[in-house]
Structure 1
Amino acid sequence: MGVAVSKIALLTHCQALTQACNYCEGETLVNVLDCKKDMGLWHGVLTSVMNRIHTITVPYAVMKACPMSWVQRVHIHKGKATVSYSFCIENCIDTSTHLHPKLHT
Protein backbone atom coordinates (compact mmCIF):
# COMPACT_ATOMS: atom_id res chain seq x y z
CA MET A 1 0.00 0.00 0.00
CA GLY A 2 1.07 3.55 -0.57
CA VAL A 3 0.62 6.93 1.05
CA ALA A 4 -1.68 9.57 -0.41
CA VAL A 5 -0.39 13.15 -0.41
CA SER A 6 -2.65 16.05 -1.36
CA LYS A 7 -1.58 18.50 -4.06
CA ILE A 8 -1.43 21.36 -1.52
CA ALA A 9 0.77 19.29 0.84
CA LEU A 10 3.05 18.34 -2.07
CA LEU A 11 3.48 21.95 -3.19
CA THR A 12 3.98 23.19 0.37
CA HIS A 13 6.63 20.54 1.04
CA CYS A 14 8.44 21.33 -2.23
CA GLN A 15 8.40 25.05 -1.42
CA ALA A 16 9.80 24.35 2.06
CA LEU A 17 12.62 22.26 0.54
CA THR A 18 13.31 25.02 -1.99
CA GLN A 19 13.67 27.64 0.74
CA ALA A 20 15.65 25.38 3.09
CA CYS A 21 18.12 24.30 0.38
CA ASN A 22 18.16 27.68 -1.39
CA TYR A 23 17.50 26.14 -4.81
CA CYS A 24 17.48 28.42 -7.86
CA GLU A 25 16.20 27.85 -11.37
CA GLY A 26 18.77 26.42 -13.75
CA GLU A 27 21.06 24.89 -11.11
CA THR A 28 22.47 21.41 -11.58
CA LEU A 29 21.71 18.80 -8.92
CA VAL A 30 23.49 15.45 -8.65
CA ASN A 31 21.17 12.92 -7.02
CA VAL A 32 22.42 9.59 -5.66
CA LEU A 33 19.17 8.67 -3.89
CA ASP A 34 16.48 6.30 -5.14
CA CYS A 35 14.04 8.42 -7.18
CA LYS A 36 11.10 6.17 -6.34
CA LYS A 37 10.92 6.85 -2.60
CA ASP A 38 11.72 9.16 0.30
CA MET A 39 14.07 12.11 -0.23
CA GLY A 40 15.11 10.90 -3.69
CA LEU A 41 11.53 11.40 -4.83
CA TRP A 42 11.12 14.78 -3.11
CA HIS A 43 14.49 16.31 -4.03
CA GLY A 44 15.44 14.36 -7.15
CA VAL A 45 12.09 14.58 -8.91
CA LEU A 46 9.35 16.77 -7.43
CA THR A 47 11.36 19.75 -6.14
CA SER A 48 13.64 19.60 -9.19
CA VAL A 49 10.69 19.81 -11.57
CA MET A 50 9.06 22.60 -9.56
CA ASN A 51 12.27 24.68 -9.63
CA ARG A 52 13.39 23.75 -13.16
CA ILE A 53 16.62 22.27 -11.82
CA HIS A 54 18.76 20.09 -14.08
CA THR A 55 19.05 16.75 -12.27
CA ILE A 56 21.65 14.08 -12.92
CA THR A 57 20.82 10.81 -11.18
CA VAL A 58 23.59 8.35 -10.37
CA PRO A 59 22.07 4.85 -9.94
CA TYR A 60 22.99 2.73 -6.92
CA ALA A 61 24.63 0.06 -9.12
CA VAL A 62 27.01 2.69 -10.51
CA MET A 63 27.72 4.05 -7.03
CA LYS A 64 28.48 0.53 -5.81
CA ALA A 65 30.90 -0.14 -8.68
CA CYS A 66 32.53 3.30 -8.58
CA PRO A 67 31.87 5.22 -5.32
CA MET A 68 33.47 8.42 -6.65
CA SER A 69 31.20 8.56 -9.71
CA TRP A 70 29.05 11.28 -8.12
CA VAL A 71 32.12 13.53 -7.83
CA GLN A 72 32.80 12.98 -11.53
CA ARG A 73 29.19 13.97 -12.34
CA VAL A 74 29.49 17.13 -10.22
CA HIS A 75 32.68 18.09 -12.05
CA ILE A 76 31.48 17.25 -15.58
CA HIS A 77 28.10 18.97 -15.23
CA LYS A 78 29.31 21.85 -13.00
CA GLY A 79 26.93 20.75 -10.27
CA LYS A 80 26.07 23.15 -7.45
CA ALA A 81 24.13 20.78 -5.19
CA THR A 82 24.18 17.11 -4.28
CA VAL A 83 21.58 14.95 -2.60
CA SER A 84 22.75 11.80 -0.82
CA TYR A 85 22.29 9.82 2.36
CA SER A 86 25.00 11.86 4.04
CA PHE A 87 24.62 15.62 4.21
CA CYS A 88 28.43 15.87 4.56
CA ILE A 89 28.86 15.60 0.78
CA GLU A 90 28.78 19.38 0.32
CA ASN A 91 31.59 19.65 2.87
CA CYS A 92 33.52 16.92 1.04
CA ILE A 93 33.25 18.88 -2.20
CA ASP A 94 34.41 22.08 -0.50
CA THR A 95 37.33 20.27 1.11
CA SER A 96 38.28 18.41 -2.05
CA THR A 97 38.46 21.63 -4.08
CA HIS A 98 41.11 22.89 -1.69
CA LEU A 99 43.05 19.64 -1.93
CA HIS A 100 42.53 19.13 -5.67
CA PRO A 101 42.31 22.48 -7.50
CA LYS A 102 41.59 20.74 -10.83
CA LEU A 103 38.23 19.54 -9.51
CA HIS A 104 36.58 22.97 -9.98
CA THR A 105 38.02 24.50 -13.15
Structure 2
Amino acid sequence: MKLSALLLGGIATFVGAQTAAPYTDVKSGITFQAYQHTTGYFLGIALPDDPTGNTDFIVTIGGKGTGWSGASLAGPMKNALLVLAWPNSNAVVSSFRKTA
Protein backbone atom coordinates (compact mmCIF):
# COMPACT_ATOMS: atom_id res chain seq x y z
CA MET A 1 0.00 0.00 0.00
CA LYS A 2 2.80 2.43 0.85
CA LEU A 3 4.54 1.73 -2.47
CA SER A 4 1.42 2.39 -4.51
CA ALA A 5 0.64 5.58 -2.59
CA LEU A 6 4.23 6.79 -3.04
CA LEU A 7 4.34 6.03 -6.77
CA LEU A 8 0.93 7.42 -7.59
CA GLY A 9 1.55 10.47 -5.41
CA GLY A 10 4.80 11.18 -7.23
CA ILE A 11 3.17 10.77 -10.61
CA ALA A 12 0.26 12.99 -9.62
CA THR A 13 2.76 15.71 -8.76
CA PHE A 14 4.44 15.20 -12.15
CA VAL A 15 1.31 15.53 -14.26
CA GLY A 16 -0.40 18.32 -12.37
CA ALA A 17 -4.06 18.54 -13.35
CA GLN A 18 -4.00 15.33 -15.40
CA THR A 19 -5.99 12.34 -14.15
CA ALA A 20 -5.17 8.68 -14.59
CA ALA A 21 -7.21 6.50 -16.90
CA PRO A 22 -6.97 2.74 -17.47
CA TYR A 23 -4.89 1.75 -20.49
CA THR A 24 -4.51 -1.87 -21.61
CA ASP A 25 -1.38 -2.73 -23.59
CA VAL A 26 -2.40 -4.66 -26.71
CA LYS A 27 0.70 -6.93 -26.78
CA SER A 28 0.92 -7.88 -23.09
CA GLY A 29 -2.72 -7.50 -21.97
CA ILE A 30 -1.50 -5.61 -18.88
CA THR A 31 -3.77 -2.80 -17.67
CA PHE A 32 -1.97 0.33 -16.48
CA GLN A 33 -3.18 3.45 -14.72
CA ALA A 34 -1.87 5.90 -17.29
CA TYR A 35 -1.41 9.64 -17.59
CA GLN A 36 -1.27 11.17 -21.06
CA HIS A 37 -0.22 14.68 -22.04
CA THR A 38 -1.64 16.52 -25.06
CA THR A 39 1.78 16.22 -26.73
CA GLY A 40 1.37 12.42 -26.89
CA TYR A 41 3.74 11.69 -23.99
CA PHE A 42 2.34 9.02 -21.66
CA LEU A 43 3.30 7.23 -18.47
CA GLY A 44 1.50 4.24 -16.95
CA ILE A 45 2.04 2.07 -13.90
CA ALA A 46 0.70 -1.38 -13.06
CA LEU A 47 0.88 -2.46 -9.41
CA PRO A 48 0.26 -5.94 -7.98
CA ASP A 49 -3.29 -6.75 -6.85
CA ASP A 50 -1.95 -7.81 -3.45
CA PRO A 51 1.03 -5.61 -2.56
CA THR A 52 1.71 -7.39 0.74
CA GLY A 53 5.46 -8.03 0.75
CA ASN A 54 5.67 -7.20 -2.95
CA THR A 55 7.56 -4.18 -4.26
CA ASP A 56 7.34 -5.07 -7.97
CA PHE A 57 5.65 -2.80 -10.48
CA ILE A 58 5.58 -2.37 -14.25
CA VAL A 59 5.96 0.97 -16.02
CA THR A 60 5.13 1.91 -19.60
CA ILE A 61 6.41 5.17 -21.04
CA GLY A 62 6.38 6.74 -24.47
CA GLY A 63 5.92 9.76 -26.62
CA LYS A 64 5.81 11.04 -30.15
CA GLY A 65 8.83 12.14 -32.11
CA THR A 66 12.46 11.24 -31.63
CA GLY A 67 14.77 11.22 -28.65
CA TRP A 68 14.24 10.00 -25.12
CA SER A 69 11.32 10.02 -22.68
CA GLY A 70 11.68 10.04 -18.93
CA ALA A 71 9.81 10.64 -15.69
CA SER A 72 10.61 10.97 -12.02
CA LEU A 73 8.45 8.76 -9.80
CA ALA A 74 8.86 11.14 -6.87
CA GLY A 75 8.05 14.54 -8.37
CA PRO A 76 11.38 16.37 -8.18
CA MET A 77 14.28 14.63 -9.88
CA LYS A 78 16.64 14.86 -6.89
CA ASN A 79 16.80 11.68 -4.73
CA ALA A 80 14.24 9.95 -6.91
CA LEU A 81 13.70 6.86 -9.03
CA LEU A 82 13.69 7.78 -12.73
CA VAL A 83 12.16 5.81 -15.60
CA LEU A 84 13.83 6.38 -18.98
CA ALA A 85 13.40 5.05 -22.52
CA TRP A 86 15.07 5.87 -25.83
CA PRO A 87 15.32 4.43 -29.34
CA ASN A 88 18.42 2.50 -30.41
CA SER A 89 18.28 1.36 -34.06
CA ASN A 90 15.10 -0.76 -34.28
CA ALA A 91 14.89 -1.40 -30.53
CA VAL A 92 13.84 0.54 -27.46
CA VAL A 93 16.21 0.75 -24.50
CA SER A 94 14.76 1.31 -21.03
CA SER A 95 16.33 2.04 -17.70
CA PHE A 96 15.48 2.71 -14.04
CA ARG A 97 17.91 5.06 -12.34
CA LYS A 98 18.12 6.47 -8.83
CA THR A 99 19.41 10.01 -8.54
CA ALA A 100 21.54 11.36 -5.71
Q: Which has the larger radius of gyration?
A: 1
Do the two structures share a fold, i.e. TM-score over 0.5?
no
**TM-score, reference length from structure 1:** 0.29
Question: Where is the helix percentage greater, Structure 1 or Structure 2?
Answer: 1
